Chains A and B, each alone.
Chain A
């Protein structure tokens, strides 16, 4: 019995070890290549002949007018900060209303939101493109960036499910106590619910912040060929295009590492909030 258990345990550990190697290896390869000294794209070997930090240094020197990582980084940062603020505000408003207030159109709104969520997101993209064009948003690069902020945040009110679920777990008796003390619903929202909702606010902020960093498709359609105004995602994609890949292959990996680290930290933070959020805000 004991030997049998030993064999099973060892087999499991070996299996886990093999699997984790499979899962970590690609990440390891990305990091390894980002330090590779020799330029060019694909090599006939895997372990680099020499190591260097130059890929990172060159990445941030931004000397090329087309491939300009620092500029892309700043573009994405600005766009995501603005769209985060707007969409977090929208999401909080909608989810609070849907969770706490009862009014005539409520059930209808929930159903419409559900149906809208089923249309492929960029089916409407072409129309959005023309609406923005019609409004004159696609004339200059800066206007395109504003357009992108609008696109990322305008429809965000529909993504309220997570936050609504959180508000649903806050006990209603807290609100009622506030009403009895003479607080208006607005006061209750601002002074009681919001301060109690830090986990979900952080979660909403971080998820909407990460959106522009990982979105490829809307950014590409709106920016077109305007490389100086690109965001990170389309910028990195550009580095892999045929005319650039030979020169920028290693820098591409460096760029991947550079943006993965902050996003990794943010992701781990959302995990924490997620667990707290699902666990409920108030017990008893």
Chain B
């Protein structure tokens, strides 16, 4: 056992690489105390600046907790108890409002306090480890780094800490904390009837998830399943139509007999270069009831002069129109990326096949297609998940319409993502929106984790280094 311990100690090349548990186990009293009185080990060993920084962080945290934090944790559990009061003041003839608790702020401050606590636990570990590192060096009569050494290490072995600190703070504050907050909202009754500051909302456990999957009045299964199935149908059609047609187009342009290849490519790339929302907004007007497409159809006598094709107002037409417009947008992208791949297929393969007397269709089936599928699969997955999340196309073209009365604030072309938008922004049913967000995450995570981990770029990222 003793040998084992010794070995473990030697494994890490630098004392700062020791894990928190190792630092606690092997540390002396000062080191162990440093987990609770931050910076103690550093202060006692003349690392004044480092110790003071640790200590100040702890004092700041404690001051925050005493003045505000403990109360906010309590509020986080109850989500507020005092409802906003409303009394009629007869002398002035107005309603007077008494301050109540704001459940939303209770939740938000609770999340912030939890985040700060997590941060301070992290700092505690850092403090303990730092104390252990100092102890370790002192025991071995090694040089104990001064503050200047610490600063210098930021340019060397701790460069990652220097470069990552700002981006990570940004991600924490504007991605992780909000996400955590929204996940919590899925377990509350924060809907249009419980809007702070007028009303309180409370924890309801899994109620929102249950109502999402059960049928009957006030339940959402009747909306959720149709929207989900359209989302999946849309994602499959949108992904594969662009993929297959784009590939065919690339083949058509790249085949031997085709002249002026550059010109054809340019004609299609033009539409890629126009910003997507411009394309979508123009398409919306072009396919309008009175838009140019309907006018053309009338001029050619395909429909009567007063009739119009309901491109966006009939559910089935709208779905087909959206998929077609998406093809218009997506095919040039696929064409661009497949062109590169096509040109990379080793020419020897084709020559060998020709010598063996393979016909053109056979060559395509046995060489071109497998190669393309192999290279494009990761791409296909990202575009599939991208299409599940494709907010712009639906929102800017139809806004989810035509609306369906039997649905809960959704239209026939609404995807989960646009339904989420409607529920939160228009309808203010934040809890239901959050539930949908979590469900979407589960769908996307399964799809991408199953596949992403098998791609080459994840497995051997260092292949080129």
Q: Is the CB of B175 within 8 A of A20?
A: no
Instruction: Chain A residues near B340: list those with CB within 8 A.
Output: 275
Q: Contacts A16-B258, A216-B277 known; A127 to B181 CB distance under 8 Å?
A: yes
Docked CA distance A119–B385 (Å): 11
Q: Is the CB of A131 within 8 A of B173?
A: yes
Q: Mark A6-30, 1 if CB is under 8 A from B, else 0.
A: 0011001101100110111011011
Contact of B433 among A123, A150, A280 (CB under 8 A): A123
Instruction: Chain B residues near A66: list those with CB within 8 A.
Output: none
Q: Is the CB of A94 within 8 A of B163?
A: yes
Most buried by B among A20, A22, A150: A20
Within 8 Å of chain A (Cβ to Cβ): is B348?
A: no
Q: Is the CB of B167 within 8 A of A26?
A: no
Q: Is the CB of A184 within 8 A of B156?
A: yes
Docked CA distance A103–B153 (Å): 14
Docked CA distance A90–B285 (Å): 39
Q: Is the CB of B170 within 8 A of A154?
A: yes
Within 8 Å of chain B (Cβ to Cβ): is A240?
A: yes
How far apart are B336's CB and chain A's nearest CB, in angstroms?
8
Q: Is the CB of A42 within 8 A of B288?
A: yes
Docked CA distance A46–B464 (Å): 55
Within 8 Å of chain A (Cβ to Cβ): is B355?
A: no
Query: Smallest CB-CB separation from B255: which chain A residue?
Result: A12
Instruction: Chain B residues near A104: list those with CB within 8 A.
Output: 17
Within 8 Å of chain B (Cβ to Cβ): is A1?
A: no
Contact of A268 among B154, B273, B291 (CB under 8 A): B273
Docked CA distance A170–B461 (Å): 13
Q: Is the CB of B291 within 8 A of A154?
A: no
Q: Is the CB of B434 within 8 A of A154?
A: no
Q: Is the CB of A26 within 8 A of B282?
A: yes
Interface residues of A in 95-112 (CB under 8 A from B): 96-97, 101, 103-104, 106, 109
Instruction: Chain B residues near A121: list those with CB within 8 A.
Output: 389
Docked CA distance A62–B286 (Å): 26
Docked CA distance A268–B185 (Å): 43
Q: Is the CB of A23 within 8 A of B270?
A: yes
Q: Contacts A119-B441, A260-B275 known; A124 to B264 CB distance under 8 Å?
A: no
Instruction: Chain B residues near A90: list those with CB within 8 A.
Output: 166-167, 170
Q: Is the CB of A20 within 8 A of B267?
A: yes
Within 8 Å of chain A (Cβ to Cβ): is B23?
A: no
Q: Mark B126-161, 1 if CB is under 8 A from A, else 0.
A: 000000000000000000000000000011110110
Instruction: Chain A residues near B163: list those with CB within 8 A.
Output: 93-94, 96-97, 189
How far apart are B154's CB and chain A's nearest CB, in angstroms?
8
Q: Is the CB of A94 within 8 A of B164?
A: yes
Contact of A19 among B249, B276, B284 (CB under 8 A): B249
Contact of A120 among B170, B295, B389, B457 (CB under 8 A): B389
Q: Which listed segment binds A: B365-373, B401-409, B420-428?
A: B420-428
Instruction: Chain B residues near A154: list those with CB within 8 A.
Output: 170-171, 173-175
Instruction: Chain B residues near A127: list those with CB within 8 A.
Output: 108, 177-179, 181-182, 185
How far apart are B383's CB and chain A's nearest CB, in angstroms?
14
Q: Is the CB of A122 within 8 A of B421?
A: yes
Contact of A93 among B167, B174, B249, B283 (CB under 8 A): B167
Most buried by A among B160, B257, B285, B433: B160
Docked CA distance A22–B286 (Å): 13
Within 8 Å of chain A (Cβ to Cβ): is B77?
A: no
Q: Contacts A123-B437, A127-B182, A260-B274 known; A240 to B170 CB distance under 8 Å?
A: no
Q: Is the CB of B17 within 8 A of A264?
A: no
Q: Which listed segment binds A: B3-11, B51-59, B90-98, B444-452?
A: B444-452
Q: Contacts A123-B179, A267-B273 known; A158 to B166 CB distance under 8 Å?
A: no
Docked CA distance A23–B283 (Å): 12
How far apart are B355's CB and chain A's nearest CB, in angstroms?
20
Docked CA distance A123–B270 (Å): 33
Instruction: Chain A residues near B229: list those with CB within 8 A.
Output: none
Q: Is the CB of B464 within 8 A of A16?
A: no
Q: Contacts A130-B108, A168-B465 known; A13 to B258 CB distance under 8 Å?
A: yes
Within 8 Å of chain B (Cβ to Cβ): is A53?
A: no
Most buried by A among B336, B444, B452: B444
Contact of B175 among A15, A158, A187 (CB under 8 A): A158
Q: Is the CB of B396 within 8 A of A157?
A: no
Within 8 Å of chain B (Cβ to Cβ): is A142?
A: no
Q: Contacts A23-B328, A46-B292 known; A186 to B156 CB distance under 8 Å?
A: yes
Q: Is the CB of A9 within 8 A of B257?
A: yes
Q: Is the CB of B178 within 8 A of A124?
A: yes
Contact of B252 among A12, A118, A187, A233 (CB under 8 A): A12
Q: Is the CB of B174 within 8 A of A128?
A: yes
Interface residues of B in 199-237 (CB under 8 A from A): none
Docked CA distance A127–B430 (Å): 10
Q: Is the CB of B252 within 8 A of A157?
A: no
Contact of A27 among B271, B276, B277 (CB under 8 A): B271
Interface residues of A in 178-199 (CB under 8 A from B): 184-187, 189
Query: Smallest CB-CB separation from B253: which chain A residue?
Result: A16
* 22 A-B interface contacts by CB (under 8 A): A19-B268, A20-B264, A27-B270, A41-B290, A42-B285, A93-B163, A97-B159, A101-B159, A109-B164, A118-B444, A119-B179, A122-B420, A123-B440, A134-B105, A186-B154, A187-B155, A189-B159, A214-B276, A233-B277, A249-B285, A256-B274, A259-B275
Binding site for B on A (CB under 8 A): 5, 8-9, 12-13, 15-16, 19-20, 22-24, 26-27, 29-30, 41-46, 90, 93-94, 96-97, 101, 103-104, 106, 109, 114-116, 118-128, 130-131, 134, 150-151, 153-158, 165, 168-172, 184-187, 189, 210, 213-214, 216-217, 221, 233, 236-237, 240, 249, 252-253, 256, 259-260, 263-264, 267-268, 271, 275, 280
- Kindly list the 4 A-B residue pairs having the minimum CB-CB distance in the complex, ordered from nearest: A157-B167, A127-B178, A123-B437, A124-B178
Binding site for A on B (CB under 8 A): 17, 104-105, 108, 154-157, 159-160, 162-164, 166-168, 170-171, 173-179, 181-182, 185, 249, 252-253, 255, 257-259, 264, 267-268, 270-279, 281-286, 288, 290-292, 295-296, 298, 328, 332, 336, 340, 385, 389, 391-392, 395-396, 417, 420-421, 424-425, 430, 433-434, 437, 440-441, 444-445, 448, 452, 457, 461-462, 464-465
